[in-house]
Amino acid sequence: MSTENLTYADQTTTDGGTKIWRGKLTFIMAAAGSAVGLGNLWKFPYIAGENGGGAFVLVYLACILLFGIPLMMAEIGIGRSTRHNAVDAFGTLAGKAGANPLWKGIGGLAVTTSYLILSFYIVVAGWCLYYFWITANGTFTATTTVDTAFTGGTFESLLADPVTLITFSVIFLLITFAIISSGIEKGIEKAINWLMPSLMLMLAVLIGYSAANGNFEAAVNFLFNADFSKLSSEAIFIAIGHSFFTLSLASASIITYGAYMPAKSSITKTAFAVAGIDTLVALTAGLAIFPLVFQFGLEPGAGPGLMFISLPLIFSDMPYGQLFGSVFFFMLFIAALTSAISLMEPTVAWLERRFSLRRRTATFLTTLSLWVVSLGTVFSLNIWNSPVFFGKTFFDALDYVTANVFMSIGAIATAVFCGYVLKRPQLDAMFSTDPQAIPVFRFFIRYVVPAFVAVLVIAAL
Ligand code: PHE
């Protein structure tokens, strides 16, 4: 199903009725919205903090450059050249290459990955929504003394309370449902056009605030001074997994969005733009958070609670803390929303086609089942707080298995598929907009990506 002969005039619907976004920038904004999420704003600062800062950041940057960008190009190309959901995209390409149709299993694994990530993502997004609510309400700026015991207690009581956790994750899930069920243009494209500029604006305001009020120098030192003696093999493994997670790779999101990308946009430029924005936001988030952490003499390696325990403490003590604290948590919520949209779309797109469902029905079924699965994460934080898998709770196990195991397998399989299974004419059709990039792409996807991922995984083990 070649896309070369698509003209801008026929961009509303094409093969099989797949919609294509009208805006030239929509794909970049949507993919950047997918990439920029809790991974950048919540996870990156705390894993960088836990793993010693500079050296970890360097490994992470190398991962983005050496295999993040080539894989991103591969996934955009797979989606756009087939205009299918991830499962059928791999199936169609494998069929044309005369390869085993079971290759579509990689698409199935990717859709499963996005579905499972979303099941816990909505719970953490619910925390952000709850924190926006209580920060705006003045919980952390009230007259009572706010100390670590207080903010720590607030976070612990949230995690211990299934009803509140369910309430806020369901609100978040329903907002995602409303956007996805309204369609690719009227739902996703329209929402993205509003959400992404607001997100960038809030981030700019917050970094200014942090630079004005915090210890910027200490933060820059922490993030960019590489001390390799602090780098453990586990840190390397975490950096690899995180580079997939943060770029939304190996999880069907980019392939699915690629199917809606206009035929004329350059894949290379787009991939660099998306990875560039994502990296910039992660580093910016670090530069917005750590100056405050150091200014207040707090612990940079505080773990997942960094955002929910340390930051409220800081906001309670700073000028206009209630206002900026609320903006901060609202920004987290928006960033989570644009990622959640991209996490739900792969399952919905697949269900629609596989069972010939209406979009609304497919979205409804996805939402309802996700809610049930998300209860596993909710309860693993309180009443079911026992190890179920390799000493990890349900939530930790899901996070670990998706980001580290499923994504590594999916990424290597995608590289092998593009590098060795697809025929050269298929690559030419995939990269019809960037033929000059094919030799470099091929070299990276055949040799650098598999070797690099394998070496790093072995080093980590
Ligand atoms: N990239 C998102 C983040 O950093 C998470 C995500 C993973 C979104 C996979 C889509 C697919 O938070």
- 297 CA → ligand 1 middle, Å: 31
Question: What domain count does the chain have?
Answer: 1
* Predicted pLDDT at 11: 37
Question: In the structure encoding, which two tokens stand for residue 48, read together?
Answer: 């960088």
- The domain that contains 430 carries what CATH number? 1.20.1740.10
Instruction: Please identify, by atom number, the ligand 1 atom nearest to the C-alpha of residue 252.
Output: 11
Question: Does residue 311 register a pLDDT over 70?
Answer: yes
- 397 CA → ligand 1 middle, Å: 17
Task: For ligand 1, say whether the CB of 347 is within 6 Å of any of its atoms.
Answer: no
pLDDT tens digit sequence for 364-409: 999 999 999 999 999 999 999 888 888 899 999 999 899 888 998 9
* Predicted pLDDT at 345: 98
Task: For ligand 1, say whether the CB of 38 is within 6 Å of any of its atoms.
Answer: yes
- 425 CA → ligand 1 middle, Å: 32
Phi, psi angles (nearest 5°) of residue 389: -150, 115
Name residues whose C-beta falls within 8 Å of residue 199's C-beta, 6 or more positions apart in sequence: 33, 36, 331, 334, 335, 338
Q: What is the mean pLDDT of residues 70-81?
A: 97
Question: Rounded to whole angstroms, how far apart are CA atoms 416 and 82?
Answer: 18
Phi, psi angles (nearest 5°) of residue 8: -60, -25
- 448 CA → ligand 1 middle, Å: 23
| Pocket mutation for ligand 1, best pick of 36, 118, 180, 339 (most atoms within 8 Å of C-beta) | 339
* Predicted pLDDT at 227: 80
Task: For ligand 1, say whether the CB of 256 is within 6 Å of any of its atoms.
Answer: no
Terminus-to-terminus CA distance in the chain, angstroms?
A: 42
Question: Does residue 69 register a pLDDT over 70?
Answer: yes
* Predicted pLDDT at 460: 63
Average pLDDT along the chain:
90
pLDDT tens digit sequence for 326-372: 999 999 999 999 999 999 999 999 999 999 999 999 999 999 999 99
Give the residue numbers spanning the domain of 278: 3-460
Paired strand residues for 392: 389
Question: Does residue 76 register a pLDDT over 80?
Answer: yes
Question: Does residue 181 register a pLDDT over 60?
Answer: yes
Question: Does residue 3 register a pLDDT over 80?
Answer: no
Q: What is the mean pLDDT of residues 200-222?
A: 87
Task: For ligand 1, say whether the CB of 246 is within 6 Å of any of its atoms.
Answer: yes
Question: Does residue 278 register a pLDDT over 90?
Answer: yes
Atom 11, ligand 1: which residue's CA is nearest? 248
Task: For ligand 1, say whether the CB of 343 is within 6 Å of any of its atoms.
Answer: yes
Query: Would you place residue 16 in the very low, low, confident or very high pLDDT band (cuts 50, 70, 90)?
Result: low
Q: What is the mean pLDDT of residues 163-180?
A: 98
More confident site: 53 or 249:
249
Name residues whose C-beta falls within 8 Å of residue 106's C-beta, 6 or more positions apart in sequence: 90, 410, 413, 414, 417
- 359 CA → ligand 1 middle, Å: 23
- 247 CA → ligand 1 middle, Å: 6
pLDDT tens digit sequence for 107-150: 999 999 999 999 999 999 999 999 999 999 998 886 567 788 88
245: buried, middle or exposed (CB in 10 Å: 19+, 13-18, 0-12)?
A: buried
Global pTM reads 0.92
Question: Does residue 8 register a pLDDT over 70?
Answer: no
